[in-house]
Amino acid sequence: MIPDLITPKPGLINPGRLITILAILAVVSLTFACGESESETDSVDGSDPISVVTTTGLLADLVRNVGGDLVAVESLVPLGADAHSFQSTPENSVAISKADVVVSNGGGLDQFLDSVIDGALSKDAVHIIAAAALVASEEGETPTEDADHEGEDTDHEGQDADHHAGEGDPHFWQNPLYTVEYTETIMEGLIQADPENQASYRSNFDSYKEQLIKLDFDIASTLNVVDEDKRKLVTFHDAFGHFAERYGWEAVSFVASDASQVTPNAIADVLERVREEGIPAVFAEPQFSSELLDNAATVSGAEIGIIYPDLPGGGVDSYINMMLFNAKSLARLLE
């Protein structure tokens, strides 16, 4: 409360007393302003962002698109690193133990982190397996479909789209429409952890879904310039089966989707195919050694391009940018 002040005689103003009055008013105004500012901050922010830990950088990008400012995201596997050979650290366990939400891919891609997550996850935390519905759908094939694959070679040598493209491949995000399912699963998990903000999560998901559908159209349009007989994607490891299946390509690789050791037969099979079919380019993945592809290119005369199976960081800093980069790289070298 402002203290009572001695009122000067009408027509007279005491300069010293005026200064005192103004100073007191300034202090009171500042006090009220600070109180209002704190109140407004509380009402706008509500609470701190929820802590989310993902196994890969690509999943972190998807979480940010769904969660926006409501989430603080950390990836266990650094951008550009090979998830298949990543070694967890004690710091990873600490990060998981403090997380409100943990997001993994599933399908065997990040299975090596399952025990770490299980051991460190808080009892109140939510664990989202982004590809769970897609893996369940893949494993739910009819007996007839399963019978069609009996007796097939299971060492993944020379894989291509002719053999039920993408089967057993955990890189579902290479099909943007599958990424819509990823983000919907992520949205549901964030709502479970933070139900008060479900309207924001749903709105963000709807907006990002539109971007993913446009991405699918843009990729198809970019690849349309490549003649059908040249739509053959040769890579180091089998991470592009879902991409090939979505856009009507054939995918050929040296090693399995889990990047296990390459075999001499796989090298021979792929080299023979590149030579016989006159495939103009093969594609290296920066996460892996390109020596085998370099040799293949030398023997066959094919060029070497770049394609990313997972988010690399640097200039290609988002899932959408990565997928567009891949499509443009294929179109440029195979047109």
Question: Tell me, what CATH number does 295's domain have?
Answer: 3.40.50.1980
Residue 313 covered by a domain: yes
The pLDDT value given to residue 117: 96
For 137-194, give the DSSP string. Answer: HHHT--HHHHHTTTT---S-TT--TTTTTTTT---GGGSHHHHHHHHHHHHHHHHHH-
Q: What is the rounded average pLDDT of the residues 23-43?
A: 37
pLDDT of residue 127 exceeding 60, the answer is yes
Residue 164 covered by a domain: no
Residue 326 covered by a domain: yes
pLDDT of residue 216 exceeding 70, the answer is yes
Residue 308 covered by a domain: yes
**Residue 4 vs residue 63, higher pLDDT:** 63
CA 166 to each of CA 48, 102, 156, 170, 304: distance values in angstroms, whole numbers, following the listed order: 40, 26, 12, 8, 23
pLDDT-based confidence at 322, cuts 50/70/90?
very high
Residue 122 covered by a domain: no
Number of domains in the chain: 2
Residue 139 covered by a domain: no
Q: What pTM was computed for the model?
A: 0.77
- Which residue range forms the structural domain that includes residue 13? 1-33
* Distance from C-alpha of 254 to C-alpha of 251, rounded to nearest angstrom: 10
φ, ψ (nearest 5 deg) of residue 272: -65, -40
The pLDDT value given to residue 190: 98
**Residue 152 vs residue 282, higher pLDDT:** 282
Residue 315 covered by a domain: yes
Query: For residue 88, what are its two tokens?
Result: 């967890």
